[in-house]
Amino acid sequence: MTTAAPPRPATGRPRRAPGRRAARWPAWRAFLLLTLPMVAGLFLFKYVAIGWGFLLSFNDARGTIALGDWNGLENYRRLLGDPAFTRSLVTILLFTLFIVPVTFALALGLAVLVNRLRGGRAFFRTTFFIPAAVSYVVGALVWKMSLFSGTPSGVANSLAYLLGYEESIGWVATVDPPLYWIVLVTVRLWLQTGFYMILFLAGIQQIPAQLYEAARVDGAESEARLFRHITWPMLRNTSVAVVLLLIINAFQAFDEFYNILASNLSGLGGADGRTPLIYLFQTALGEQNYGAGSAGAFVVTVLIVVFTLLQGRFAGFGRSEEEG
């Protein structure tokens, strides 16, 4: 005769469902399997490279990227004492102070106009966005060799003839007045305004229509008043993000300056419109001075971080609506 075993007393801890723990491990293994290559690549090719570049900036590394010939802050002193580097910083600061507000205003204005269209909105949205998909190199060469070529058949010179100018204008080579800035600024505006217009358009279309209806009930009939009291405040986070991206992109200007002013940068005369990245490109890859090039890269990075922090401090990037 057999007797049944007495039941075990309850311990008070909830018992896990059979197989639940085992079911978790495949998910963790899949997570690690999918993310580990990306994390390893990011660490190896991004953070290790950044760390190595930082150490290299304290070395006299000419023609080599090996560490060992430490020279302290000599690369930083050389850069900050070089008039060409400080002139490149002034150039990029002036470019940033002009291109950021102009692009911001154009993109916001286009977004408001496209959003108000009753028909053809997709057509104009696509038309304005297509230049954002064009390479900066291609855009710069089209501007330099076609629109502002300096020949009588150039588009800009053809328009100048219609306005009464009889001689061809060398847009890229003219320094006094600095007409080359017209070429640089217009190509940057053409290339990037459509992208930021899409960001503003997405922000505008997220604003609830009930807010506009309530404002009209309260007497705000004009579009200007609706924009001032509804659209603009509701676009605050989008505006802050757009300004942040514009500042970073402006400081990283390279392609259009390098390709449009290529002959000038080669010492053949004309404007010396070197940006910090062009200066560092010539220092690191032209002179093979990797130590000074790395030091300059960190100087530019510090400038971008400072501008980003100041912009976030005054514009409130990351703060919620309740925090103001």
Beta carbons of 210 and 203 less than 8 angstroms apart: no
Mean per-residue pLDDT for 120-149? 92
Residue 289 domain-assigned (yes or no): no
Please give the model's pTM, rounded to 2 decimal places: 0.81
Domain that holds residue 207: 82-274
| Share above pLDDT 90 across residues of the chain, in percent, rounded to a whole number | 50
Residue 252 domain-assigned (yes or no): yes
Residue 57 domain-assigned (yes or no): no
Mean per-residue pLDDT for 231-245? 92
Q: Does residue 16 surpass a pLDDT of 70? A: no
pLDDT of residue 264: 61
Residue 62 domain-assigned (yes or no): no
Q: Does residue 265 surpass a pLDDT of 70? A: no
Residue 177 domain-assigned (yes or no): yes
Tokens of 8: 């075990």
Query: For position 143, which CATH number holds?
Result: 1.10.3720.10
pLDDT tens-digit profile of 207-216?
Answer: 999 998 898 8
Structural domain count of the chain:
1
Residue 292 domain-assigned (yes or no): no
Residue 139 domain-assigned (yes or no): yes
Residue 241 domain-assigned (yes or no): yes
